[in-house]
């Protein structure tokens, strides 16, 4: 199986893992009683009605023509000052809310006033800085990230771990034959610096040297003793979804309504900002609205499903993150000699690290409501997605039809679209890359691309291309995802069972690298194990940093690097009869076509809720994946 096919299969599985995050047993053995979950399926209010005028305006605002001009000038000045902002606090400290209220009053009294609507759009977007929740979340995350950086980068153990694992793993082993002396010594210097620094300083410089080192290292030691930073407890996915729902989407609704009003009035206005005179046309507004609708669609989808990862004690905080780094276990290497092959076995025990994650995953997989619909936003999201290509197309047509001077336009148009060839000729480039002309023709121009996007959003589309010699044919129906939404995303995941007790601890072995060589020596570090009979070892010498160079009696011709990891797993895939499909079996799929048939995961719905309507059963996926084997 080639790299490309492995990559493709990996992508499929990875996509499943990432998108659906986790799984749920087909028949759960012990579902949690969920106390915190309350079914909330009402859709979020996502609107695009130009008649929706802002209500919470400033009743004292001067909405005369001069008043709007004055507010607009002030708005421009405040936006210009954002250029000097050094961090998010500078943004949050600017007052855009009063301007937004002023423009809201102006818009509600004069819905057709172009300047008032544009001012309202800009001030409404900028006034997101009034969201206390958003500010609190950003402040807290900012402080947390800084604290984590400060803590872990100053921790001598972390420095040691970082240097050893990053530098040694990359360079130490494989390169030893060609450049082993210099590299190994360099690595040895780094890896042993912090641990041996006190001993070496004492040996070389006596008590005075040790004193100096202690003085230099004391800040790090003090930092290491301080309390480690905790993740802000209030920041949960539900909290972020709340910000989106309460603070962002309503503002975007108002912006879209203002765009609609400007479009219906066929806006064309000359403005000045950042010392630039520019013209804002209706085409610019169409394109802007398309961008806003796209963002709103993404946010609408984000708040559709319950994705909170509760702690195993039932609290909705993510405090389990705090302990993840502390549980990391350093790996060691075991050397064995089999015939003329040196086995370099990297042994990792990551159970301490993965156990808390497993607990979190298992708890949430059993939690009712997890990955279920919390807001029925599919229809509104779909509507926004369908609107985007139409808006772009209308925008392009509008920009194309402009006949005035284009030099100061926000988006330049006019006669420039009459050229027959485009510099960024995606279409030709795709054909040169091997894609079919049928697919490439959709990328000939932005307009044709928008038609194509509309087509695949509304109809079944069969992708049939030969890429790198592989025939890839797949029918997708994106509309099914939105018109017939999945109530529980866990139902889409492969069949599996949750692991309990000792079953959770799984050992996995894989060959990382194999290469030919012609050497009789290797370097060994502090925690490494030499599992080679003494009779085969000529000598073991210590270098100045306390590491060992092992010289064998005979030369070895090959070196195999093997990873052996013990980890904690939350579930195991199962077949229709409930038999386990282990990690090794899954890995075998990538190398052996027979294994594909045997171990390809079993699903309840092979069409993934109609997203791939032609993939009706397991054999369809096996047929599809079989094409990637040589």
Partner 1 sequence: MIQAALNFKRPGILLSGLLVFILIPFPVMASDCLLIDILSGLTLESTQNTLPGQNFFAETDISYSPLIKEKKRSDNDNFNSFLDIMNGGARIQWGNEKLRSRTSYKYNKYEGAVRIDSTRYSTCSYMKSHRLETSLWLAARQLNTGILLGAIFPDDSEMKLKTFEKKRFSVLGNLYSGLYANAMLSPFTFRVNLEKQPLITGTTKLIKNSRTESYRTFPLVLYSYRAGTGADFKAENIILSLDFSADAIRSNPENELKSSMPVDLGMNLYRVRHSGTTALKRSNLNWSTEASLGGGLCEGYTKNTDGMNFFLADSIRLQTVNVSCGIKDNMKFEFKGHGSLFSLHSPTGFLNLAPFSEWTIFQPVNYRFYNASFLYSDIGCTASKAFIYNNYTFILELGIRYFTVSVECGIKKRETVILFPRYEDLGKKQLMDVNGLFFTPRISVPLKIFTTNFSLELDGVIPILFKGKKSKNETTNGSEEKKNLDTGDLTGGIRMGMHLDIPLMLKH
| CB of residue 162 to partner 1, shortest distance in Å | 28
x/- map, 403-422, partner 1, by CB under 8 A:
--xxx--xxxxxxxxxxxxx
Which lies closer to partner 1 via its Cβ, residue 79 or residue 498?
Answer: 79
Render the burial of 203-229: b for 16+ CB within 10 Å, e for the rest: eeeeeebbeebeeebeebeeebeeeeb
Element spanning 247, H or E? none
- From 14-22, 391-399, 457-465, 560-568, span contacting partner 1 (CB under 8 A): 391-399
Positive or negative: CA dihedral 362, 366, 371, 374 = negative
Q: How far apart are the first and last CA of the chain?
A: 5
Which lies closer to partner 1 via its Cβ, residue 390 or residue 445?
Answer: 445
Task: Determine, following the binding rule CB under 8 A, whether residue 98 of this chain makes contact with partner 1.
Answer: no
Task: Determine, following the binding rule CB under 8 A, whether residue 90 of this chain makes contact with partner 1.
Answer: no
Q: Which of residues 121-150 bind partner 1 (CB under 8 A)?
A: 121-122, 125-126
| CB of residue 444 to partner 1, shortest distance in Å | 10
Neighbours of 320 (CB within 10 A): 19
| CB of residue 416 to partner 1, shortest distance in Å | 4
Q: CA separation (Å) from 114 to 50, 262, 271, 537, 551?
A: 13, 6, 11, 86, 83
Q: Is 609 exposed, middle or buried (0-12, 13-18, 19+ CB in 10 A)?
A: middle
Which lies closer to partner 1 via its Cβ, residue 276 or residue 630?
Answer: 276
- According to DSSP, residue 41 is labeled -
x/- map, 432-461, partner 1, by CB under 8 A:
x------------xx---------------
Task: Determine, following the binding rule CB under 8 A, whether residue 294 of this chain makes contact with partner 1.
Answer: no
| Binding test (CB under 8 A) with partner 1, winner from 425, 465, 519, 543 | 425
Provide the phi-psi class of 21: left if phi over 0, else alpha when psi is between -120 and 50, else beta.
Answer: left
Render the burial of 407-438: b for 16+ CB within 10 Å, e for the rest: eebebebbeebeeeeeeeebbeebbeeebeee
Which lies closer to partner 1 via its Cβ, residue 50 or residue 446?
Answer: 446
**What is the Cα–Cα distance from 202 to 467, expressed in whole angstroms?**
64
x/- map, 588-607, partner 1, by CB under 8 A:
--------------------
Element spanning 236, H or E? none
Q: Which of residues 182-241 bind partner 1 (CB under 8 A)?
A: none
- Tell me the HSE value of 15 on the side-chain side, using a 13 A CA sphere: 8
Q: Which of residues 41-80 bind partner 1 (CB under 8 A)?
A: 76, 79
Q: CA separation (Å) from 17 to 12, 14, 301, 455?
A: 9, 5, 18, 28
Tell me if 74 sits within 8 A of 115, measured CB to CB: no
| CB of residue 373 to partner 1, shortest distance in Å | 33
Which lies closer to partner 1 via its Cβ, residue 114 or residue 168?
Answer: 114
Render the burial of 582-602: b for 16+ CB within 10 Å, e for the rest: ebeebeebbeeeebbeebbbb
| CB of residue 99 to partner 1, shortest distance in Å | 13
Which lies closer to partner 1 via its Cβ, residue 118 or residue 256?
Answer: 118
Which lies closer to partner 1 via its Cβ, residue 286 or residue 556?
Answer: 286
Which lies closer to partner 1 via its Cβ, residue 125 or residue 361?
Answer: 125
| CB of residue 524 to partner 1, shortest distance in Å | 41
3-state secondary structure of 22: coil
Q: Which of residues 155-184 bind partner 1 (CB under 8 A)?
A: none
**What is the Cα–Cα distance from 395 to 291, expressed in whole angstroms?**
12
Task: Determine, following the binding rule CB under 8 A, whether residue 87 of this chain makes contact with partner 1.
Answer: no
Task: Determine, following the binding rule CB under 8 A, whether residue 329 of this chain makes contact with partner 1.
Answer: no
| Binding test (CB under 8 A) with partner 1, winner from 68, 116, 118, 608 | 118
| CB of residue 246 to partner 1, shortest distance in Å | 22
- From 390-398, 517-525, 529-537, 605-613, span contacting partner 1 (CB under 8 A): 390-398
Which lies closer to partner 1 via its Cβ, residue 180 or residue 444?
Answer: 444
DSSP string, 422-435: -SS-HHHHHHHHT-
Tell me if 236 sits within 8 A of 137, measured CB to CB: no
| Binding test (CB under 8 A) with partner 1, winner from 280, 492, 506, 559 | 280
Total residues at the site for partner 1 (CB under 8 A)?
Answer: 46
x/- map, 505-534, partner 1, by CB under 8 A:
------------------------------
The position carrying tokens 């030969």 is: 466
| CB of residue 479 to partner 1, shortest distance in Å | 25
Task: Determine, following the binding rule CB under 8 A, whether residue 84 of this chain makes contact with partner 1.
Answer: no
Task: Determine, following the binding rule CB under 8 A, whether residue 271 of this chain makes contact with partner 1.
Answer: yes
| CB of residue 580 to partner 1, shortest distance in Å | 49
Neighbours of 500 (CB within 10 A): 10
> 495, 504, 577: which is closest to 28 by C-alpha?
495
3-state secondary structure of 266: coil
Which lies closer to partner 1 via its Cβ, residue 101 or residue 393?
Answer: 393
Task: Determine, following the binding rule CB under 8 A, whether residue 390 of this chain makes contact with partner 1.
Answer: no
| CB of residue 516 to partner 1, shortest distance in Å | 33
Which lies closer to partner 1 via its Cβ, residue 4 or residue 411?
Answer: 411
| Binding test (CB under 8 A) with partner 1, winner from 155, 284, 344, 384 | 284
> 280, 281, 262, 263: which is closest to 271 by C-alpha?
280
Tell me if 16 sits within 8 A of 494, measured CB to CB: yes
Instruction: Write out the residues near partner 1 by the rule CB under 8 A.
Output: 76, 79, 82-83, 118, 121-122, 125-126, 271, 273-274, 276, 278, 280, 284, 287-288, 392, 395-396, 399, 405-407, 410-426, 428, 432, 445-446
């Amino acid at each position: 199986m080639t790299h490309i096919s492995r990559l493709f299969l990996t992508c499929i599985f990875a996509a499943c893992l990432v998108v659906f995050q986790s799984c749920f047993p087909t028949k759960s053995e012990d579902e949690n009683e969920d106390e915190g979950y309350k079914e909330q399926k009402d859709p979020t209010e996502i609107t695009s009605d130009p008649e929706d005028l802002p209500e919470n305006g400033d009743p004292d605002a001067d909405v005369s023509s001069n008043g709007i001009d004055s507010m607009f000038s002030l708005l421009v000045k405040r936006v210009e000052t954002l250029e000097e902002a050094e961090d998010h606090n500078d943004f949050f400290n600017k007052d855009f809310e009063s301007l937004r209220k002023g423009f809201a009053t102006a818009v509600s009294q004069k819905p057709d006033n172009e300047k008032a609507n544009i001012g309202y759009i800009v001030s409404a977007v900028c006034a997101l800085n009034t969201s206390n929740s958003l500010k609190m979340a950003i402040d807290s995350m900012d402080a947390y990230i800084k604290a984590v950086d400060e803590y872990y980068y100053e921790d001598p153990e972390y420095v040691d771990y970082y240097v050893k694992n990053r530098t040694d793993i990359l360079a130490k082993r494989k390169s030893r034959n060609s450049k082993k002396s210099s590299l190994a010594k360099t690595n040895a210097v780094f890896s042993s610096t912090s641990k041996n620094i006190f001993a070496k300083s004492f040996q070389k410089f006596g008590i005075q040297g040790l004193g100096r080192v202690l003085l230099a290292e004391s800040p790090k030691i003090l930092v290491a003793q301080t309390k480690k930073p905790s993740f802000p407890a209030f920041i949960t996915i539900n909290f972020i979804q709340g910000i989106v729902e309460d603070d962002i989407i309503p503002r975007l609704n108002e912006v879209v309504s203002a765009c609609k009003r400007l479009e219906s009035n066929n806006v064309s206005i000359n403005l000045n900002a950042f010392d630039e005179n520019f013209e804002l046309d209706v085409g610019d507004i169409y394109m802007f609205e398309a961008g806003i609708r796209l963002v709103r669609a993404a946010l609408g989808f984000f708040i559709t499903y319950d994705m909170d990862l509760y702690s195993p004690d039932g609290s909705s905080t993510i405090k389990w993150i705090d302990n993840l780094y502390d549980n990391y276990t350093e790996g060691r290497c075991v050397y064995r000699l089999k015939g003329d092959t040196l086995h370099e076995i990297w042994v990792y025990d990551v159970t301490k690290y993965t156990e808390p994650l497993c607990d979190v995953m298992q708890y949430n997989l059993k939690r009712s409501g997890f990955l279920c619909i919390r807001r029925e936003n599919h229809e509104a999201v779909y509507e926004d997605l369908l609107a985007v290509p139409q808006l772009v197309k209308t925008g392009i047509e509008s920009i194309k039809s402009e006949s005035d001077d284009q030099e100061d336009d926000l988006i330049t148009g006019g006669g420039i679209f009459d050229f027959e060839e485009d510099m960024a000729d995606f279409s030709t480039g795709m054909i040169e890359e091997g894609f079919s002309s049928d697919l490439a023709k959709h990328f000939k121009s932005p307009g044709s691309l928008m038609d194509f996007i509309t087509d695949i959003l509304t109809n079944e589309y069969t992708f049939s291309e030969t890429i790198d010699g592989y025939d890839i044919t797949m029918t997708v129906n994106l509309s099914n995802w939105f018109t017939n939404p999945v109530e529980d995303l866990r139902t889409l995941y492969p069949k599996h069972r949750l692991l309990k007790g000792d079953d959770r601890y799984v050992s996995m072995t894989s060959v990382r690298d194999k290469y030919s060589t012609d050497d009789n020596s290797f370097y060994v570090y502090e925690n490494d194990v030499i599992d080679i009979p003494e009779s085969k070892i000529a000598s073991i010498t210590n270098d100045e940093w306390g590491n060992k160079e092992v010289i064998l009696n005979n030369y070895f011709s090959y070196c195999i690097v093997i990873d052996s990891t013990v980890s904690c797993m939350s579930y195991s895939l199962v077949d229709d009869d409930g038999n386990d499909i282990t990690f090794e079996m899954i890995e075998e799929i990538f190398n052996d076509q027979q294994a594909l048939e045997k171990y390809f995961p079993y699903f309840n719905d092979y069409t993934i809720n109609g997203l791939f309507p032609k993939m009706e059963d397991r054999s369809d996926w096996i047929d599809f994946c079989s094409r990637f084997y040589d």
